Structure 1
């Protein structure tokens, strides 16, 4: 399974170690990368828009969504953040209702992805 996060090209050096930490944790479960470029939708990609205008969902519901996507035949999950434009989106969520930077939103998304894998693998996750 592959996860790609498309972000605006914002790189806060203070948050870089935290971003790297979560990416390394997630790599135990799947391939993950973060891109700063516009992309084209490929077959077998499930596209999730991260939008502050959307509703938040619980960690359990997010884990269920990830599991459902994987059992539906998708091998790639794409997350769109910030102002990345796409002609196709399958689902839309918010990772927080707080007013945050896009970079902090990426950290929150990475934490939710990591938590989803822990939940789906019946592993302990501290709160």
Structure 2
């Protein structure tokens, strides 16, 4: 299985990059993982809603340019469906059985995702109604994907 993580904004904190590298290393046993980092657009707090929408559109265009046509796209979105770790594992497993062995997970920027990106989603996934820092969320996402593979393999990591 091939997993691609597309995220907006570079991660600057070493402890986050170390955690991401650790989960990427762990995942290498189960899948081919690739990461695409999209540069975030400048958006001051003084920006109007129209200016924020333009930022989302610019970031969205960059995201869409990275999504392959034959991939199954998970968009991480606060209003998406919440799944347990077991249900996420089951969904990933079922997608593989159905022939969807190329999965893409998209993490938007701090202003959210454009309508065009949201419309490209095959599945909108929410981990919580809470808001998380984007840098931390990438770690959480990778851990949950790793957990899903461990569950599907019947290994003892998941408790």
Q: TM-score, normalised by structure 1?
A: 0.90
User: Alpha carbon RMSD of aligned pairs, Å?
Assistant: 1.6
How is 1:29-40 mapped onto 2 (pairs within 5 angstroms)? 29-37=30-38, 38=63, 39-40=66-67
TM (norm. structure 2) is 0.73
Distance 2:89 2:37 in 1: 25
- 8 Å CA contact 1:95–1:105 kept in 2: the answer is no
Distance in 2 of aligned mates of 1:40 and 1:100: 24
Q: Which has the higher helix share?
A: 2
Rg (Cα) greater in structure: 2
Higher relative CO (CA 8 A, sep ≥ 6), structure 1 or 2?
1
Distance 2:128 2:27 in 1: 20
Name structure 2 gaps, 5 residues minimum.
39-62
Alignment partner of 1:56 is 2:43 = no
Query: How far apart are 1:54 and its partner, in Å?
Result: 2.0
Classify 1:40/1:54 alpha carbon distance in 2 versus 1 (closer, same or farther; 3 Å).
closer
Report the alpha carbon displacement of residue 126 of structure 1 after superposing the two structures with TM: 4.8
Aligned residues: 126
The answer for unaligned runs of 5 or more in structure 1 is: none
